[in-house]
């Protein structure tokens, strides 16, 4: 089992496109200023066990607009285990630190309970998004980890 960076031209690129159709739509939009990176944990037969899509760039507005932010656009788990999630998230964190990102953040659904627990162990702050009384319960969480 190893973590690999998958970019256009890689033999697993077509599978990554299928796992992240919405991210691919954004990536291919000329107005989108993001820089997209894809990592995957693969087994010895190159089967994808887990994959993460990360967009690196500045926020367009708000207090962090001058900061370089890494945004987790999606995490997919064809095969889910704490060990696999831990490996892919640690690689994503190392990569974002090397790219000099100030924070790594994302929005995670509670259906990914193992992912949330692993992120918390790796130092992410986890905040429920829908904790107001007038909000429809979506079980969405904001996850943030300072990197610098």
* Band (92; pLDDT cuts 50, 70, 90): very high
Euclidean distance between CA atoms 19 and 144, whole angstroms: 23
Q: Looking at domain 2-105, which CATH architecture does it have?
A: 3-Layer(aba) Sandwich (3.40)
pTM of the model: 0.84
Q: Is the pLDDT of residue 8 over 90?
A: yes
On average, the pLDDT of the chain sits at 85
Residue 9 in tokens:
């031209």
Q: Please tell me the predicted confidence (pLDDT) of residue 136.
A: 52
pLDDT digit string, tens, across residues 93-148: 999 999 999 999 888 776 667 888 888 899 998 887 766 555 555 667 788 888 87
| Pairing mode, strands 35-42 and 48-58 | antiparallel
């Amino acid at each position: 089992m190893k973590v690999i960076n998958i970019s256009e031209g890689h033999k697993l690129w077509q599978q990554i496109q299928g796992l992240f159709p919405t991210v691919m739509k954004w990536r291919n939009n000329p107005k989108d200023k993001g820089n997209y990176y894809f990592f995957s944990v693969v087994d010895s037969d190159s089967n994808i066990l887990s994959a993460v899509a990360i967009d690196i760039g500045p926020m367009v507005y708000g207090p962090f607009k001058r900061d370089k932010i890494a945004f987790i656009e999606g995490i997919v788990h064809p095969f889910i285990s704490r060990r696999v999630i831990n490996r892919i998230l640690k690689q994503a964190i190392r990569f974002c630190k090397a790219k000099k990102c100030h924070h790594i953040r994302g929005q995670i659904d509670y259906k990914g309970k193992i992912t949330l627990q692993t992120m918390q162990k790796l130092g992410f702050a986890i905040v429920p998004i829908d904790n107001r009384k007038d909000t429809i319960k979506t079980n969405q969480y904001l996850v943030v980890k300072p990197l610098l």
